[in-house]
Structure 1
Amino acid sequence: MTTPDDDAPKPACPICGKPVVPAHKPFCSKRCADVDLQRWLGGHYAIPGREDDALGRDDGSHEE
């Protein structure tokens, strides 16, 4: 007999795609967690910002 949880999609590790291990959630292992941390620290996940002149700060004005 199956339960409704059996049909639910299993979460996958965002780094390698293997099944998630509760001890390292949302990753499958400490290695994948460390890979993700290194990507954050290395700036791979950086969100590009706007240039200062696009904010109107070069001429002393303030954008609101």
Structure 2
Amino acid sequence: MNFILIEALHTNKQVYLTYYKRGQSITETGFIQCVDSHGNLFIFMDDIFKLKNKMQLSELIDVRFV
């Protein structure tokens, strides 16, 4: 997953993100804006509303290219 996150960040490729939020599995489409492996977080911009979301890497279940 780390490889895909870094590649998506550097190439600005769109990804499907699946993550846990409040006990639910959520899948969104968006673009990776920042990856901080030392701080255990990443920032992505969702495809629909163009909102930036800060997430913990530990909440991430899966990431795939669109």
**Which interval holds the TM-score relative to the shorter structure?**
under 0.3
Larger Rg: 1
| Greater per-residue helix proportion | 1
Q: Which has the higher contact order (CA 8 A, sep 6+)?
A: 2
| Greater per-residue strand proportion | 2
TM-score, length of structure 1 as denominator length: 0.17
TM-score, length of structure 2 as denominator length: 0.16
